[in-house]
Amino acid sequence: MRIGQVAKSAGVHIETIRFYERKGLIAQPPRNNGGYRQYPQEAVARIRFIKRAKDLGFSLTEIAELLSFQANPMATCADVKQRAEAKILAIQERVKDLQTMKHALGKLVESCSGSGSLDHCPIIDCFEIHKEKEESP
């Protein structure tokens, strides 16, 4: 299969495939006599694997680790489960952080009348206060 066919079958852009090749997530196949790279059918399955793992929040580094388990005869389901459980904990922390941000932003929105000049906007003022603190020695 040529790169365009792989991209279409896997539901990604050609640039995505090239990016995954540069990151070492998929192997760059050799060129045929016509100069085209011929991808094996397994490339589509691997790209779909990467895509699904990304959809579940795994980073490309974590996905590379999951893929390496497949090539390691000593790897076990417990290894993968441990990574998935760690990802769940990271997601829970991220959700907690997002809820904190939502709450803080909600308080700012409540404190703003939505009228008047920006000189007296509590939302802008909040950002400038933090900016001044960051810039202070």
Give me the mean pLDDT over the 51-74 stretch: 95
Output the CATH code of domain 1-75: 1.10.1660.10
pTM of the complete model: 0.76
> Tens digit of pLDDT for each residue in 10-52?
999 999 999 999 999 999 998 888 888 999 999 999 999 999 9
> Tens digit of pLDDT for each residue in 66-105?
999 998 999 999 999 999 999 999 999 999 999 999 999 9
Predicted local confidence at residue 12, as pLDDT: 97
Give me the mean pLDDT over the 119-131 stretch: 77
Q: How many CA atoms lie within 13 A of 25 on its CB side?
A: 24
Predicted local confidence at residue 130, as pLDDT: 52
* Range scoring the smallest mean pLDDT among 24-28, 32-36, 54-58, 127-131: 127-131
Distances (CA, A) of 111 to 12, 125, 131: 44, 11, 19
Judged against a pLDDT cut of 70, whether residue 131 lies above it is answered with: no
Judged against a pLDDT cut of 70, whether residue 119 lies above it is answered with: yes
